[in-house]
Structure 1
Amino acid sequence: MASRRSGKSGADLYVQLYGRPSAAAPAAPPPTIAAGSPMPAETSSYWKDGDRDPTKQRDIPRLFPYFYHSVLARNGKAVHGRNIMPLIEYIDAMLIFQGNLWFQKIEDPRTGEVFRQRFLIALDEYELPEHRPDDVIDFLWSWRTTARPGLRQFVDQKYTDLTSPSSKLLEFGDTLPFGIWHRD
């Protein structure tokens, strides 16, 4: 089994830059209260406040390249294109699947059709295939503010799943195959 330690080589750069993903939302910033005023009865979470602004910039770190490099390094896989592209394909397929589920659940067929026309082409036919998962996140982020917590959870959960001791990536040798997403 591959080592789970990141070492001092900087191989786990995604975690060094963005911190280890966790299931819990970050703590709310302390409220600004003037001296002598009463404390508010209830404060909302950081995520909830940020999601009220539809123009808010994406706060999910870009996946390319550090997310993929970190996942590969934590699984003891060589960080090169032959391993990065199958991992990108996997994340891309899972994001598109999740997006289509949201369009069906919310009953927004018009946006769902735009989404499918834009992203349901072969990954290798996409202009910049290594950036397509980030483009999918951007599309879903701007679509609805209610999708943002799910997107954050998706990225955190996929990182945790792919770097855990039971990671599906450990089933393969030194080079990852395409079509990993078919196994889910």
Structure 2
Amino acid sequence: MGFLRPDEPLEARFSNVLFTPGDRARRAVTKGQKGIRDALLPDERALGIALDERSHDETVVLTDRRVLIMRRGGRALVRATDIAEVPGAYTEVTPGGGTFDLDRMGVRIHMRDVTSANALTTLINNAVLKHRPRRITMLNPDFYLDLLSRGGVPDTPVNRARLAERTEFAIGGQAGAFTAQLRAPEAFEEFVRRFGFDSPNRRLQRADDMIDWLWAWHPLCHHGLTRQVAKWRDGLLRPGSFLTAAAGSEIPDWNDSTTSNEQAWRLVFEKNWRG
């Protein structure tokens, strides 16, 4: 007569990084740990493991190199993504807990403990930031020079400064949208403290400074920033833009005395917060 073989105990290297430590989740990961071991590359370390606490099926394993999407506590590998290619994560508060979401990857892990969901979100976002340096080329000087040239506008100190000033304003508006959508009013206030005042000595570098700050703040800004810079460039080169309208001459001074940059950015923030 045969005997049932007891499950091997959950290895400490997995137990210590388990973000869903409930009994059922722990049993599922214990049964799936061989699959996790087999999925790891040589010298690759697991940094975080979470199992959906509704289905007890979909499983996320964060390593020091990749994010592994698995099933049944780790028994089956669905896909592996280099951490630098992960868009980012966020937590959504839901009835009975929180949902950990991997943006644009179709992964939602329901967790009973919102604090644990937030901690896993922070862990993954910090890993993405560590592995994905800024991918937007510096705007100063080549981006501005290319726009002036293609728009038929003379390259003068005045034209460069006025183009940079309007680009700065546009990036600031995007910052208001990002911080509102990510429900981070404290980040918006920090952005305003840093950039909500005139800085003539850094006029040409200011938009780059803003991109650097947003890129280092949250990985979910990366895709939107990249798209925004491309959209800004394409829009300026269309007929009728302030750039192409200034072909052969000087970009007009942009003097909107009714609304400061900070006031305009706050309006964007408030609109996106309500939305």
Q: TM-score range by the shorter chain?
A: 0.5 to 0.7
Residue 7 of structure 1 is matched in structure 2 by none
Distance 1:144 1:175, change over 3 A: same
TM-score (structure 2 length as normaliser): 0.46
Distance in 2, Cα, partners of 1:156 & 1:73: 17
Bigger RCO (CA 8 Å, 6+ sep): 1
2:180 alignment partner in structure 1: 104
- 2:129 counterpart residue number: 54
Question: How far 1:180 sits from its partner (Å)?
Answer: 7.8
- The 8 Å contact of residues 89 and 178 in structure 1, kept in 2 or not, is answered as no
Following superposition, the deviation at residue 130 of structure 1 comes to 1.0
Who is 1:131 aligned against?
A: 205
Give the structure with the larger strand fraction. 2
- Tell me, yes or no, if structure 1 residue 143 matches structure 2 residue 217: yes
Question: 1:118 and 2:194 equivalent?
Answer: yes
Q: CA deviation at 1:149?
A: 0.1
Equivalent residue for 2:235, pick from 145, 154, 161: 161
Please list the CA deviations of residues 147-179 of structure 1 after superposition, one character each: whole Å capped at 9, or x if unmatched. Answer: 100000011111111123443322236001221
Normalised to the residue count of structure 1, the TM-score between the two structures is 0.67
Q: CA RMSD in A?
A: 2.7
**Structure 2 residue identity aligned to 1:103:** T
Q: Does the aligned pair in 2 maintain the 1:92–1:132 contact within 8 Å?
A: yes
Structure richer in helix, relative to its length: 1
Instruction: Give structure 2 stretches of 5+ with no counterpart.
Output: 1-76, 89-126, 260-275
Residues 156-165 or 168-177, more deviating: 168-177
Contact kept, 8 Å, 1:86 with 1:180, in 2: the verdict is: no
2:140 corresponds to 1:64: yes
Instruction: Kindly indicate whether the alpha-carbon contact (under 8 Å) linking 1:58 and 1:141 is maintained by their aligned counterparts in 2.
Output: yes
Mapped to 2, the partners of 1:163 and 1:54 lie a distance apart of: 32
Q: Look up the SS of the partner of 1:147 in the other structure.
A: helix
Structure 1 residue 77: deviation in Å?
A: 0.8
Q: Secondary structure at the match of 1:65?
A: helix
Q: Which residues of structure 1 form unaligned runs of 5+?
A: 1-39
AA paired with 2:253?
Answer: F
